[in-house]
Amino acid sequence: MKNGILFLLASLALLSCKKDVIVPPEPLPPLNYIDTTGFLEIHVDNVVNGAPLSLGTTTYVSSFTDTFSVDILKYYISNVQLVSANGYTYTEADSYYLVNEANPNSLHLMIKKVPPGQYTSIRFLIGVDSAKNVSGAQDGALDPINNMFWDWNTGYIMAKMEGHSPQSTQPTKKIVYHIGGFADKFKGIRYVSLNFPNTANTAKTHTPILNLEADLYKWFLNPNFSDFNTSSVITGISYESSGMADNYANMFSVTSVIN
Amino acid sequence: MKKIFFYIVICLGFISCSVDPEIKPEILEDEIKEIIPEGWPTPKYNFSNNPLTKEKFTLGRYLFYDPIMSANNTISCGSCHQQFVAFANAGHDVSHGINGLLGNRNAPAIQNVNWLPTFMHDGGILNLEVMPLAPITNPVEMNESMANVVNKIAVSAKYKQLFTEAYGDDAVSSQRIFKALATFMGTMYSNNSKYDLVKNGKESFTSQEQSGYNLFVQKCASCHKEPLFSDFDFKNNGLSVIVAYGDSGRAHITSNPSDRHKYKTPSLRNIELTGPYMHDGRFTTLDQCLNHYSSGIVSSPTLDPQLIGGISLSSQDKSNLIAFLKTLTDPKFLTESRFSEIK
């Protein structure tokens, strides 16, 4: 009897050590599941009034006949959606891209897990949606080390352009535009919807290329922008920054789709 | 003989529990659990995207006290946030950044930060995890880029080990740094003051403390709302404007003129120790603070309506209030070894 109790105690002691952590198995796709999704590749081409953009000393002429050069051009493209001929809309998950003219790799966007289809238009957000602005520390394109996140006033810089212009009122003749805001009436995020000249036919084994042009000339147009003298620097969230967002919302076009 | 064998089995059973390699003596598992004291609201930050582990806590603890975060490796988070004063900056109206540079605001206490809907005196920052980015990059504080912080930490053998323990591999990223710091700061709970013990029925106020508490409820608690002692709203509390600081307060964030010179209501927990007081640290004593509210209110277009004409307080009222305010001191929090610098 006594031995029986001891045996029980011993068993209990041993049992109490057992980790009661149950690790659920990874959910497996059904046996007959075949991944048929593929990619769509976007080539971003930043230009100024049709001329290829080159950073540094190359000068361009604005619609106000101001001369300017470009040192930095960075903007977010996020929440990419593709609309197919039959009305189906594919929404890419975790869809955040930072286009940075200084980084050639960033000019190629690979849209992932696209179901096979014939797509006729694209929809995306310039900037970062409000949820990701307030959800804590992010990584990848949204990592603050990319210098596109304000440290003193939470939120992403949706689009950033810096350069020089003789018309600038700044002592160094700099022109600086950091456009942000995700919730305010003056927010800097904008939806863009563009039709394709011909369908993009995606398949598991076929990745079409979408040539997306962004024309900086249109970023600095009347009536939402004055000139480099009146507005040498726009940073923050204001009537002026919001006008600039209205402008860059119109700078994109799909120049061709190559199947 | 059989009996002895069974005893040995039992002993072995217990021993195998006590040498569980997952528990290190310095930090016990139960010390870094999320706490929501009874009667407190739901925290804003809840670790759902940053599961609490003691390894992440330890990494955060090392990072918090490491001057590697500053441009010239001289200033750490802990330089201006000291545990013995509830992680405020003792004796400094405004803190000293690198190269002796001065800012224009007082370093706030760090305690119960999971309940804060916004950070900084102007509420510009909206998530605990990205809060450290502000002092790290501010030119008059640590003046460092986050990219440099990542690079410096990535080559440190000590951090390779700490990151591996916390995250399973030694890859350093800003996200991992921020989540570790949020783990360390987010578990800085101050809920063991005499006030808390009184509320839990374990102690009782002296008659003076009780008189002070009654006055507090009547005259202060509408903004300094229990149990966190703040409504987390932004108010102009009638301080004269120090023009040289060029600080518009909440309006700096909202660009709204009606927010000029408004600052977030601070918690009063550990208030006995968190001076100098006010957003610019202009008062060094609690007496000065109460005198401001009773006879120092400066009128302005954005002055909080509740403060028009000041708060009427006799000198006895002030003594009683201060007696109550001292019951908000939490000795356990101020001395808990897990929050101290690892030497």
Give the closest of A13, A134, A147 to B127, CB-based: A134
Would residue A16 count as lying in a domain? no
Count H helices, E strands: chain B?
13, 2
Per-residue pLDDT reduced to its tens digit, B284-306: 999 999 999 999 999 999 999 99
User: Domain range holding A64?
Assistant: 38-258
Relative orientation angle of helices B157-167 and B174-186, to the nearest 10 degrees = 70
Q: Which fold has domain B194-331?
A: Cytochrome Bc1 Complex; Chain D, domain 2 (1.10.760)
Interfacial residues of B (vs A; Cβ cutoff 8 Å): 2-3, 6-7, 9-10, 13-14, 16-17, 20, 49-50, 120, 124-130, 133-134, 136-138, 145-147, 150, 173-175, 177-179, 182, 252-253, 255
Say if the Cβ atoms of B3 and A17 lie within 8 Å. no
How many contacts does A have with B, using Cβ atoms within 8 A?
A: 96
Determine, yes or no, domain membership for A6.
no
Residue with tokens 């690892």: B342
Q: How many angstroms separate the CA atoms of B61 and B339, rounded?
A: 7
Pick from A17, A135, A149: CB nearest B13? A17
Task: State yes or no: pLDDT of B38 exceeds 80.
Answer: yes
Q: What is the pTM (predicted TM-score) of this model? A: 0.87
Would you call A204 exposed, middle or buried from its count of C-beta atoms within 10 A (0-12, 13-18, 19+)?
A: middle
B49–A151 C-beta distance less than 8 A: no
**B162-214 pLDDT, tens per residue?**
999 999 999 999 999 999 999 999 999 999 999 999 999 999 999 999 999 99
Angle, helix B146-154 to helix B174-186, in steps of 10 degrees: 90
Residue of A nearest to B251 (CA): A153
Nearest chain B Cα to A14, which residue?
Answer: B13
- The ranges of chain B annotated as CATH 1.10.760.10 are 29-190, 194-331
pLDDT tens column, B230-260: 999 999 999 999 998 989 999 999 889 999 9
Contact B175 A237 (CB under 8 A): no
Total number of residues shown for chain B: 343
Q: Searching chain B, which residue's CA lies closest to the CA of residue A9?
A: B10
Q: Of B28, B43, B38, give the one whose Cα is nearest residue B202.
A: B38
How many angstroms separate the CA atoms of A239 and A181, rounded?
11
The shortest CB-CB distance from B127 to any of A13, A14, A135 is to A135
Query: Largest alpha-carbon pair distance within chain B?
Result: 90
Alpha-carbon span A138 to A144, nearest angstrom: 8
Average pLDDT over residues B70-87: 96
Q: Residue A24 has what pLDDT? A: 59
Q: From B54, B85, B90, B70, select the one nearest B132 (Cα to Cα).
A: B70
Burial B86-107 (b: 16+ CB within 10 A, else e): bbbbeebbbbbbbeeeebbbbb
- What is the predicted pLDDT for the residue at B14? 45
Q: What is the pLDDT of residue B12?
A: 44
Q: pLDDT digits over B259-277, tens only? A: 999 999 999 999 999 999 9
B50/A7 Cβ within 8 A: no
DSSP state of B295: I
Q: Quick one: which of B216, B194, B190 has its CA closest to B203?
A: B194
pLDDT tens, chain A, 259 aa long: 455 555 544 444 444 444 445 555 666 666 677 889 999 999 999 999 999 999 999 999 999 999 999 999 999 999 999 999 999 999 999 999 999 999 999 999 999 999 999 999 999 999 999 999 999 999 999 999 999 999 888 899 999 999 999 999 999 999 999 999 998 889 999 999 999 999 999 999 999 999 999 999 999 998 898 899 999 999 988 899 999 999 999 999 999 999 9
Q: What residues are paired with A163 via a beta bridge?
A: A70, A175
Residue A83 lies in a domain: yes
- For residues B343 and B340, give the distance between their C-alpha atoms in angstroms, rounded to a whole number: 9
Lowest-confidence range among B17-31, B74-88, B94-108? B17-31
Q: Which residue has the tokens 């700096």?
A: B252
List chain B residues with CB under 8 Å of A237: 255
Superfamily of domain B29-190: Cytochrome c-like domain (1.10.760.10)
Taking phi over 0 as left and psi of -120 to 50 as alpha, with beta for the rest, B5 belongs to alpha
> Helix (H, G, I), strand (E, B), or coil: what is residue A16?
helix
User: Based on the structure, what is the number of domains in chain A?
Assistant: 1
- What is the Cα–Cα distance from B284 to B277, expressed in whole angstroms? 6
Q: Write the CA distances from B161 to B102, B156, B158, B174, B231, integer angstroms.
A: 35, 9, 5, 17, 41
Collect all residues with Cβ–Cβ distance below 8 Å to A228 and sequence separation of at least 6. A62, A64, A66, A68, A165, A167, A168, A175, A220
Rg over CA atoms, chain B:
23
B343 confidence band (pLDDT: 50, 70, 90): confident
Over the Cα atoms of chain A, what is R_g?
25
Q: Which residues pair with B156 in a beta bridge?
A: none
The complex scores an ipTM of 0.84
